[in-house]
A and B are shown apart, each in its own frame.
Chain A
Amino acid sequence: MIRPDVIIIGAGHNGLVCAAYLARAGMDVLVLESGESTGGMAAPRVLNDDYHFPGLAHVTYPISPTIRRDLKLDRFGYAPGKAIDTIALDANGEHLTISANSISGNRLGEADIDAYPEFRKQYLAFANSLSPLFNNKPPRLKDMGLRDTATLARLGWNIRVGLGRESMYEFLRVAAINIYDVLNETFDSEQLQGALAVDAVMGSAMGPRTPGTVLTWLQRLFGELNGAPSLHSGEQLVNALTQSAEDAGAVIRCNTRVRKILVEDSKAFGVELDDGELVKAKLVISNADPRTTFSSLVGAPQLDTMFANRVAQIRGSGVVGKLHLALGGLPEFTGIDPTGLTNRFLVAPSMRYIEHAFNPSKYGECPDNPVLEITLPSTHNNALAPDGHHLMSVNVAFLPYDLDGGWAEQKTTMAYKVISQLERYSPGLKSLIVDHEFLTPRDIENEFDATGGHWHHGELSIHQSFMMRPTYGAAQYDTPIDKLFLCGAGSHPGGGLTGLPGRNAAKRILELGGAK
């Protein structure tokens, strides 16, 4: 492949999905990845050669059935993982368990237990009603095309007819408000409220009281429509996608960093690699985040001023750190049976606690009592660690990207703070630690080439969603630069291991005539 039809920058899962679709459509696809392997944020991280951590994606939902079928992922070893529960940890061991359609726990009242299944059903229906929007390119409101009209018509139908009148009113009421109000209206248990609110704010610079946190939660629930969460790492998905893309003829070059997108006459015609090599192609598709794509790889001088300014202002400073602990044995959690260690654990005892943890991050400070999401991937797959050893993977919410005084000095302090917090729920944990790795948002930025170090390549706030994602002028995957497209999480419908931005982008590219 001397001159491919398409260059895709970045072999993250969206880049791979896009590559597989386009290759299947008969295009010559070359994927350029700066890392050693494919997968981006979902690729495993190996510590000390022996400990295989799941990268940034330690809890996953099944990929959409459409992508699974279209790209024949089962043939390449993909299978959804075993469903897990969420356990909200209590310092006194009175934990709360959230299963698919029920909740249990000593501190729960009957009213909450009764209300939960109906509440969950309703919100899954809300998430489902948004599926026409998520599964298509966001409609243009000006100069609307047929497909845009169809998307909006299906969305309207889903909301009005699909939900029914009462439910529609409720949906319209809550769609733009905060999760704090919704959960306060519905449940009494602070423990339950805290546990549910985590999924609305984890990954975003938002506390439970931030407007728009119902929407972020719906986006998360949208993933659950495909099936229950599991500890299945992204690795298996990434491997299946890689093979599917290669099987269809795509060529993937790792350890190949793109330095520049070549643009002439407002048209992309290839890329320049770090070693100076030029690779030309008919289309360039960027799976890098929009700020990296436009501000660094294309460069503001090649863009119009207002567009360049909007890109520069995309809100996308990451707020989640990742702590990886290599353990010499299986840790104990007070009040948890060893067989229960395969679940997901949360340290978020109430919404008040979460809001307090969020507040300092707004001022460039770290929380004293962080919100944590903990998994033990080795309980799911013991091949990930040496015999008898285990892995603990912890998402630490609300760590500021711009920490006052910088991260260099305070990184170790923060890691210890998290470990001390964990020790409260898992006494003896410290003595099991063999090795560790702590990734701050700054580290995530550097390790994954994502400006801001944000999971989703940009906040999933309302002003950066749908036809505003990443910003207008580039919200339909095509960009102001001809022959340059976006296919990553910075595009609609956003982050998560959904593959939808990659699929929607591929559809859009083919619709616009492919590489012709």
Chain B
Amino acid sequence: MNISHEHFRQPIGRTPFHDRMAALSKTENWTTWNCYKVPRVVDKLSTEYFAVRSGCAVMDLTPMEKYRISGQDARAYLDRLVTRDISNLRPGRVTYVVWCNDDGKVIDDGTLFQLKENTYRLCAQHHQLDWLLMSAAGFDVQIEVETHDVAALAVQGPTSYSVLTAAGIDGLDELKPFGIRNLECGGMPVTVSRTGYTGDLGYELWTDPDHAEPLWDAIFGVQGQYDIHAMGLDALEMVRIEAGFIMPGFDFNTANSTIRDGYDRSPYEVGLGWVVNLDKGHFCGRKALKAENERPARRRLTKLVVEGNKPVGEAFVYAGKNGRQVGEIKCTIWSPILKANLALADIDCINGRLPERLWARFDYQRELKWRTAWARCHAQTKPFYSPDHKSATPPARF
């Protein structure tokens, strides 16, 4: 990767899909993500949301941090980096991972792609180059940033399989969830993984920036009742909460950005205990996590269904109505498909367990007048929304 020394003159970058996205933008509602200009809403939030849930939503993933990790120690390096036992990862497969600092606090999470023997791609929410390089001491491994060298597109929703097939990408029938295949679209190579952040059927497409626009055109050129829409970050926020996916740095403080003692979170505390394998051998933070695992749980990032239909917004959570304050809501949406208030909340445990009766106390406006309300909350362990068609192979045709 070469970064021009003039790069500062354009602090907000444009992805290879930007011109196509801009042509579709009716709201001009842009924000930045890792210094790239990306839409919050392209056209209409509800249209984009329902495209994910009942059609096909296309989102520009290029700004996601992407690292190429290769070399003869790449596997050993990754095994020391992440908390999960990745010994079952094979070329052409993807796995979800989380990595911690020495104290066993989450630095970030992401998806780990094994592209081939000794070559991996790690996708992360936040910039990780310093941590990845610092972790490389003692390993024969090369780490390169490829964020800007790979154009990435998420194509998500029940009709996504049919859309991509109609766009000329053959070979998706047998692609299972978390699989990767190197395919072609109109003669251009495109790597397709069956991955996503929506909790629905979906794919992520990885290609050379020069092939970005033809790929986009092939998808948007598909004729038929597939309900294809470009999607922005606001709709993504809704669907990821429905799917029960957490976002480090938003739902909880990441370890490397935490100053105050106790404000960072361990994987156990954010519901990621299932990706921690204490007996897989040494990994960074293992000792601290082992000790934590032997103590009663202190807190838990918890999925909540909040009763009623009032917008919850920012709120404290109590053990019982008018009871002791035990936590706070970190993010919340109204789920159109479930017709429910969904939230992720950071809740203190009492004697190692979540309090039985959880209530949220929140303020809301009715015609510009503030009111206070209490609502009963129901903790969930499973994703709020997890349709069967998400994992069917081959996926249903439309």
Choose from A263, A304, A312, A473 the contact partner of B284 (Cβ within 8 Å): A304
Q: Does B101 contact A (CB under 8 A)?
A: yes
Interfacial residues of chain A within 334-357, with CB under 8 A of chain B in the complex: none
Give 1 or 0 for each of B247-286: 1 = CB within 8 Å of chain A CB. Answer: 0000000000000000000000000000000000110111
Q: Nearest Cβ distance between residue B130 and chain A, in whole angstroms?
A: 10
Q: Does A255 contact B (CB under 8 A)?
A: no
Q: Does B224 contact A (CB under 8 A)?
A: no
A473 proximity list for chain B (CB < 8 A):
102
Give 1 or 0 for each of B124-141: 1 = CB within 8 Å of chain A CB. Answer: 000000010011011100
Q: Are A304 and B102 in contact (CB under 8 A)?
A: yes
Q: Are A309 and B137 in contact (CB under 8 A)?
A: yes
Q: Are B138 and A305 in contact (CB under 8 A)?
A: no
Give 1 or 0 for each of A457-478: 1 = CB within 8 Å of chain B CB. Answer: 0000000000000000100000
Q: Are A266 and B138 in contact (CB under 8 A)?
A: no
- Stretch of A24-32, A133-141, A270-278, A293-301 on the interface side: A293-301
B76 proximity list for chain A (CB < 8 A):
301
Q: Are B101 and A306 in contact (CB under 8 A)?
A: yes
Q: Does B80 contact A (CB under 8 A)?
A: yes
Q: Does A307 contact B (CB under 8 A)?
A: yes
Q: Nearest Cβ distance between residue A329 and chain B, in whole angstroms?
A: 53
Q: Does A480 contact B (CB under 8 A)?
A: yes
Residue of B nearest to A482 (CB): B287
Q: Are A301 and B134 in contact (CB under 8 A)?
A: no
Q: Are B102 and A306 in contact (CB under 8 A)?
A: yes
Q: Are B134 and A480 in contact (CB under 8 A)?
A: no
A312 proximity list for chain B (CB < 8 A):
137
Residue of A nearest to B107 (CB): A305
B137 proximity list for chain A (CB < 8 A):
295, 300, 308-309, 312
Interface size on B, residues (CB 8 A): 17
Interfacial residues of chain A within 430-468, with CB under 8 A of chain B in the complex: none
- Candidate in B76, B134, B138 with the most chain A CB atoms within 10 angstroms: B138
Q: Nearest Cβ distance between residue B138 and chain A, in whole angstroms?
A: 3
CA distance A151 to B131 in the complex (A): 37
Q: Nearest Cβ distance between residue B52 and chain A, in whole angstroms?
A: 37
Give 1 or 0 for each of A281-300: 1 = CB within 8 Å of chain B CB. Answer: 00000000000000100011
Q: Does A302 contact B (CB under 8 A)?
A: yes
Q: Are B287 and A266 in contact (CB under 8 A)?
A: yes
Give 1 or 0 for each of B339-350: 1 = CB within 8 Å of chain A CB. Answer: 000000000000
B contact patch SS: loop
A302 proximity list for chain B (CB < 8 A):
282
CA distance A304 to B80 in the complex (A): 8
Q: Are B282 and A266 in contact (CB under 8 A)?
A: yes
Q: Nearest Cβ distance between residue A446 and chain B, in whole angstroms?
A: 21
Contact of A295 with B138 at beta-carbon distance under 8 Å, contacts A301-B80, A304-B102, A480-B287 already known: yes
Q: Are B138 and A299 in contact (CB under 8 A)?
A: yes
B285 proximity list for chain A (CB < 8 A):
304
Q: Are A304 and B138 in contact (CB under 8 A)?
A: no
A309 proximity list for chain B (CB < 8 A):
134, 137
CA distance A300 to B134 in the complex (A): 10
Choose from A300, A303, A305 the contact partner of B131 (Cβ within 8 Å): A305
Q: Are B102 and A305 in contact (CB under 8 A)?
A: yes
CA distance A295 to B139 in the complex (A): 11
Q: Are A300 and B138 in contact (CB under 8 A)?
A: yes
A303 proximity list for chain B (CB < 8 A):
282
Q: Nearest Cβ distance between residue A473 and chain B, in whole angstroms?
A: 8
Q: Nearest Cβ distance between residue B282 and chain A, in whole angstroms?
A: 6
B287 proximity list for chain A (CB < 8 A):
266, 304, 480
CA distance A100 to B287 in the complex (A): 51
CA distance A295 to B138 in the complex (A): 8
Q: Are B286 and A305 in contact (CB under 8 A)?
A: no
Q: Are A266 and B286 in contact (CB under 8 A)?
A: yes
Further contacts, 4 of them, CB under 8 A, given A265-B282, A306-B134: A266-B286, A304-B285, A305-B102, A473-B102
Q: Which residues of B contact A (CB under 8 A)?
A: 76-77, 80, 101-102, 131, 134-135, 137-139, 281-282, 284-287
30 contacts between A and B (CB under 8 A): A263-B282, A265-B281, A265-B282, A266-B282, A266-B286, A295-B137, A295-B138, A299-B138, A301-B76, A301-B139, A302-B282, A303-B282, A304-B101, A304-B102, A304-B284, A304-B285, A304-B286, A304-B287, A305-B102, A305-B131, A305-B134, A305-B135, A306-B134, A308-B138, A309-B134, A309-B137, A312-B137, A473-B102, A480-B102, A480-B287
